[in-house]
């Protein structure tokens, strides 16, 4: 594996991530919320933080960006769509590679949750569990990001793009631990979704730091935003007559009221 997840204490239920090179023991810290916490996690794993990668402009994702840069001398890499919101050393275009040591991920622009949002995707042909996406506030387990400062139609298009692009084995590394609440939302509207019930039973006894990883193939069995044309979603009487985009907008609206 080339990624470490850590649940940040006293945060807004944030996950932070270290993407690292196993050979050089260098790491990129993603969306640093608490610089001291990330430095301690890096030390525990014998890693040196050498870069900072940002996904989007929200305050809880750039909170300790400058502090960690000052502490480590790291350059900041961020989506080019964030240029109006904060300062970075390197602006990443859509599909641009970003490399830490011998580990390279692909950056994708993913507007919707915010105009500036981007994600980082790792593909590994040899090691199935090393396929992953750092999706921050775009995709969540059993849900998608809110659109309070974004655009729901853009988020629909981004979700469709990611759903088509990512292999089933790709594991999700979202920016927050929302899986329990999201599964309860799914079961409220789709009580017949046995996959949601099964995963809720599994994860509800786990802690944020030990919460099991889920991949895209699994998500498509209980995340309605990734399953807009599946029979378990279209079976809902309020969604049956709608097209996929209308279903997405309706589901997002229901989630806003949850
Ligand atoms: Zn956000």
Domains, the chain, in order of start with CATH, read: 3-257 (3.60.15.10)
Nearest to 17, CA basis, from 65, 43, 53: 53
- The CA distance from 158 to 146, in Å, is 13
Q: What is the DSSP string of 131-179?
A: -EEEEETTEETTEE---TTS-HHHHHHHHHHHHHHS-TTPEEEESB--H
Separation of CA 19 and ligand 1 centre (Å): 20
What share of the chain in percent tops pLDDT 70? Answer: 100
pLDDT at position 176 is 98
Separation of CA 148 and ligand 1 centre (Å): 9
Reported as a single tens digit per residue, the pLDDT across 10-42 is 999 999 999 999 999 999 999 999 999 999 999
Q: 3-state DSSP call for residue 191?
A: coil
Separation of CA 137 and ligand 1 centre (Å): 5
Rounded to 5°, angle at Cα 84 from 79 and 87: 70
Separation of CA 211 and ligand 1 centre (Å): 21
**pLDDT band for position 250 (cuts 50, 70, 90):** very high
Separation of CA 18 and ligand 1 centre (Å): 18
Distances (CA, A) of 210 to 30, 44, 170, 202, 236: 19, 17, 19, 11, 33
Separation of CA 162 and ligand 1 centre (Å): 18
Reported as a single tens digit per residue, the pLDDT across 118-177 is 999 999 988 998 999 999 999 999 999 999 999 999 999 999 999 999 999 999 999 999
Separation of CA 186 and ligand 1 centre (Å): 21
């Amino acid at each position: 594996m080339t990624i470490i997840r850590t649940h940040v204490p006293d945060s807004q239920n944030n996950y932070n991530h270290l993407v690292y090179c196993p050979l050089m023991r260098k790491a990129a810290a993603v969306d640093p919320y608490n610089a001291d916490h990330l430095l301690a996690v890096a030390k525990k794993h014998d890693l040196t933080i050498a870069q900072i990668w940002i996904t989007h402009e929200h305050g809880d994702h750039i909170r300790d960006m400058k502090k960690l840069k000052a502490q480590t001398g790291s350059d900041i890499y961020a989506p080019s769509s964030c240029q109006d919101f904060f300062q970075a050393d390197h602006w990443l275009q859509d599909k641009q590679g970003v490399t830490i040591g011998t580990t390279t991920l692909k950056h994708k622009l993913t507007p919707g949750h915010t105009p500036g949002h981007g994600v980082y995707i790792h593909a590994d042909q040899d090691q199935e569990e090393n396929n992953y996406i750092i999706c921050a506030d775009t995709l969540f387990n059993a849900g998608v990001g809110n659109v309070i400062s974004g655009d729901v139609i853009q988020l629909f298009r981004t979700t469709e793009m990611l759903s088509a692009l990512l292999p089933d084995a790709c594991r999700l590394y979202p920016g927050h631990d929302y899986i329990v609440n999201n599964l309860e939302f799914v079961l409220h509207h789709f009580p017949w979704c046995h996959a949601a019930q099964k995963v809720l039973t599994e994860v509800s006894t786990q802690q944020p730091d030990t919460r099991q990883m889920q991949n895209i193939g699994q998500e498509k069995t209980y995340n309605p935003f990734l399953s807009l044309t599946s029979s378990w979603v279209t079976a809902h009487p309020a969604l049956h007559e709608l097209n996929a985009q209308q279903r997405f907008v309706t589901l997002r609206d229901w989630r806003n009221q949850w």
